[in-house]
């Protein structure tokens, strides 16, 4: 049995990826509509406002609206 392997051939067919194509593919991969069912999403870099019920970087986030805030005792 021959266990020697031949070195892989070096190819220079695609030296640099097109940055616009890379960004388009990235956007497509990250689009929530393309996410598989039961996929895990990492939100550890985002801040969640429990009183507003939204992430602070959400489009609908309004700091003054706090529907989940605990009522104050007078």
Q: Is the pLDDT of residue 1 over 70?
A: no
The number of beta carbons lying within 10 Å of the beta carbon of residue 66 is 13
Distance CA 28, CA 58 (A): 20
> Of residues 37 and 47, which shows the higher confidence score?
47
Task: Please give the share of the chain, as a percent, with pLDDT higher than 90.
Answer: 30
Q: How confident is the model at residue 47 (pLDDT cuts 50, 70, 90)?
A: very high
- pTM over cut 0.85: no
Mean pLDDT of 15-27: 89
Handedness of CA 40, 41, 42, 44 (dihedral sign): negative
Confidence of residue 29 (pLDDT cuts 50, 70, 90): confident
Of 35, 56, 34, the residue nearest 45 (C-alpha): 56
């Amino acid at each position: 049995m021959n266990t020697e392997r031949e070195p892989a051939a070096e190819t220079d067919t695609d030296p640099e990826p097109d940055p616009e194509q890379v960004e388009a593919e990235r956007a497509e991969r990250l689009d929530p509509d393309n996410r598989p069912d039961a996929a895990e999403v990492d939100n550890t870099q985002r801040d969640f406002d429990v009183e507003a019920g939204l992430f602070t970087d959400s489009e609908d986030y309004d700091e003054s609206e706090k529907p989940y805030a605990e009522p104050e005792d007078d």
